[in-house]
Amino acid sequence: MPTIAVDAMGGDHAPDAVVQGVAQISLATDIECLLVGDERRIQSVLEGVSYNPEHIAILPCTDAIGMAEDPREAVKRRDTSLVVGVRAVAEGRAEAFVSAGNTGACVLACAKHFRLLRGIRRAALASVYPRQREHRGQDALALLLDVGATVRCEAEELVHFALMGGAYARRISKVASPAVGLLNMGSEEMKGGEVLVEAHRRLRQLPVVNFVGNIEGNDLVRGRADVIVCEGLLGNVALKLIEGISEVLYDLTNAAAARRVAWRLGLHLLAGGIERLRVLTDYTQYGGSPILGFEQLFIKCHGRSSARAIGNAVKVAAKAVRDHVPREIADALAAAR
């Protein structure tokens, strides 16, 4: 069973939610978790919940990076749970790292301590999100990358993202030949400027990528592509837009229910459908997003992650280790050369 290091101090609800998530995983699976952080606080949470100590070790450290800290300055501190954990993975004491902490610091810590796969120039933060299925058997989740690790990209980097995303979807979502799309402002291949046109040309020529062409914003939530590639700035805006719309829909629903009895009655009739939508858009069940491109694995969870979300992220990390995701990416790169 793989050993997964977990940042006990990262996230809005750390260490409680993180430790509780690991405790749940220790009872349900054989995954060994290495909790990194303030040992006293971790132990105090652990003793108040059910857990299996046989699957939990603690790597103590004294410092933690706040969610609002400047990432560049924060990763210089060597005894933070994030840096200690990432170094533990880099040294081979664990096989993957899970954190709900400061996203910028997570990406920088990886860049500082992990080794990029041969041929990869920039890492990508990928995010899984729910989308409409176009055909039976299609995965309910799509992968969008990059969502913030590399703000501006060259065409070659977008090609690498396509190869990395494809490899991840093949291993984790078990999609044999994932459809890869390039996020753009139009479906025509000449749209989007020099970088996107060049990326489109290169991707079309790659036999190892099932490239389906340009994808527009409205296609993001449809099932046209399993992997959508874009630069970090655009990906981050798109992802936050999807999350924002989902939240506004719930707020509107709640407001409507409070306003009129007839509307409340109508919503009551729709309760089953609304609940299905809630389950579909509930980020806690997707278990975090991978930072791809390194020899080591890093799963970044939502800052607001609950115990359940952390537990699912640990499971995803273990799956990525077992399924040799970095090797799959390296093989895809080699085949594309």
Partner 1 sequence: MKLGRARPGATPPAPLLCRWDLDKTYLRSEFDSLRSLLRTAFERAEDKVEVPGVAELIRALKATAERQGRKALVYFVSASPPQIGAAIRKKLALDGVPYDGIVFKDQLAYLKRGKLRNLREHVGFKLAELLRGRLAAPPGATELLFGDDWELDSLIYSLYADLVAGRLPPARLAPILRRIRVDPRLEGDILTLAGRAAGGERVARIFINLERRSPPATFRLFGPRVVPTFNYFQTAAVLGADGYLGAEEVARVGRVLLEGAGYTARRLENSLGDLVRRGVVTPVAADALGAPLRAAGVLPAADGTGARWRRVLGALRRLGRSGWGRRAGAAAGEAPALDYDAILDRGRRSA
Shortest Cβ distance from residue 24 to partner 1 (Å)?
A: 11
Q: Residue 36, SS3?
A: strand
How many residues bind to partner 1 according to rule CB under 8 A? 20
Shortest Cβ distance from residue 37 to partner 1 (Å)?
A: 11
Q: Can you read off the two tokens belonging to residue 267?
A: 């919503």
Q: Distance of CA 155 to CAs 167, 187, 202, 230, 333, Å?
A: 19, 17, 8, 10, 15
Alpha helical stretches, state H, 13-80: 16-28, 39-46, 71-74
Rule CB under 8 A: is residue 286 a binding residue for partner 1? no
Site for partner 1 in 39-68 (CB under 8 A): 39-40, 43, 47-60
Shortest Cβ distance from residue 169 to partner 1 (Å)?
A: 32
Shortest Cβ distance from residue 81 to partner 1 (Å)?
A: 13
Shortest Cβ distance from residue 88 to partner 1 (Å)?
A: 9
Rule CB under 8 A: is residue 32 a binding residue for partner 1? yes
What count of other Cβ atoms lies within 10 Å of the Cβ of residue 172?
20
Phi, psi of 173 (to 5 degrees): -90, -5
Shortest Cβ distance from residue 32 to partner 1 (Å)?
A: 7
Q: Which is nearer to partner 1, 57 or 116 (CB)?
A: 57
Q: Which is nearer to partner 1, 60 or 119 (CB)?
A: 60
What is the length of the chain? 337
Q: Which is nearer to partner 1, 36 or 180 (CB)?
A: 36
Give me the helix-helix angle, 271-280 and 232-259, nearest 10°. 160
Rule CB under 8 A: is residue 7 a binding residue for partner 1? no
Rule CB under 8 A: is residue 29 a binding residue for partner 1? no
Pairing of strands 289-292, 124-130: antiparallel
Helix (H) / strand (E) element for 183: namely: strand 179-183
> Residues interacting with partner 1, by CB under 8 A?
27, 32, 39-40, 43, 47-60, 93
